[in-house]
């Protein structure tokens, strides 16, 4: 039976080692054939990608403002710890779901939906979009939303970072309500 494994040599190079039976013309196994393919560059790329992913996840986990990473369909890829805490939700209640379907559909705001849909198509961003949010879990809050596209290679529409700044305290005396669900 063929066998393939990754092995690391003493010089820190990586190889894909394949071991196959050697068969004679009479189909009798008469030894083994071992092949080695140098996969060092691939292994280094895998390590770099893993380090970059861990770096990005650490940044998102450290940011104090609630932050979402959305895909081109506005589905939540990742929610920061501060988002989960601020909105009293768990990852299972957010990740993989459309932004507008979480909670009690408080994020179903037509102006916000259009702004977010435009980001991957037009490579745009927006800043300081004011949203008033009402929820039984956290009460009435006022947020300034900032969003930016993260480009991806190929034909992917990219990802969207959606950051939220809670300005409830500073906006209490600032006047009328704006966007609401």
**Which pLDDT score, from 0 to 100, does residue 181 have?**
46
- Percent of the chain's residues with pLDDT above 70: 89
Task: Answer whether residue 178 shows pLDDT above 80.
Answer: no
- The domain spans of the chain are 1-60, 63-171
Residues 49-60: pLDDT tens digits? 889 888 888 887
**Predicted TM-score (pTM) of this structure:** 0.67
| Cβ–Cβ under 8 Å, residues 166 and 86 | yes
Taking Cα atoms as reference points, which of 133, 164, 132 lies closest to residue 146? Answer: 164
**Which pLDDT score, from 0 to 100, does residue 111 have?**
83
Q: Which CATH class, in words, describes the domain spanning 1-60?
A: alpha beta
| Cβ–Cβ under 8 Å, residues 164 and 156 | no
- Answer whether CATH 3.40.50.450 is correct for domain 63-171: no
Q: Which residue has the higher pLDDT, 171 or 134?
A: 134
Ranges of beta strands (E only) in the chain are: 3-8, 14-23, 29-38, 67-70, 76-79, 125-135, 139-150, 159-166
Residues 23-82: pLDDT tens digits? 899 989 889 999 999 999 999 999 898 898 888 888 877 788 899 998 888 899 989 999
Q: Which residue has the higher pLDDT, 154 or 88?
A: 88
Coil vs helix vs strand at 134 = strand
């Amino acid at each position: 039976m063929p066998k393939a494994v990754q092995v690391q040599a003493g010089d820190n190079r990586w190889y894909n080692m394949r071991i196959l039976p050697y068969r004679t013309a009479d189909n009798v196994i008469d030894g083994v054939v071992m092949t080695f393919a140098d996969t060092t560059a691939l292994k280094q790329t895998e390590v770099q990608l893993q380090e970059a992913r861990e770096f990005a996840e650490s940044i998102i986990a450290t940011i104090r403002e609630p932050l979402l990473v959305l895909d081109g369909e506005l589905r939540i890829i990742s929610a920061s710890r501060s988002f989960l805490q601020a909105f009293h939700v768990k990852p299972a209640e957010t990740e993989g779901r459309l932004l507008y379907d979480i909670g009690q559909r408080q994020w179903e705001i037509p102006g916000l939906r259009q702004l977010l849909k435009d980001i991957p198509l037009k490579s745009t961003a927006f800043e300081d979009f004011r949203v008033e949010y009402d929820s039984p879990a956290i009460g009435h809050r006022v947020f300034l939303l900032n969003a930016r596209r993260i480009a991806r290679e190929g034909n992917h529409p990219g990802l969207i970072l959606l950051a939220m700044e809670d300005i409830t305290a500073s906006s209490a005396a600032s006047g009328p309500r704006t966007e609401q669900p």
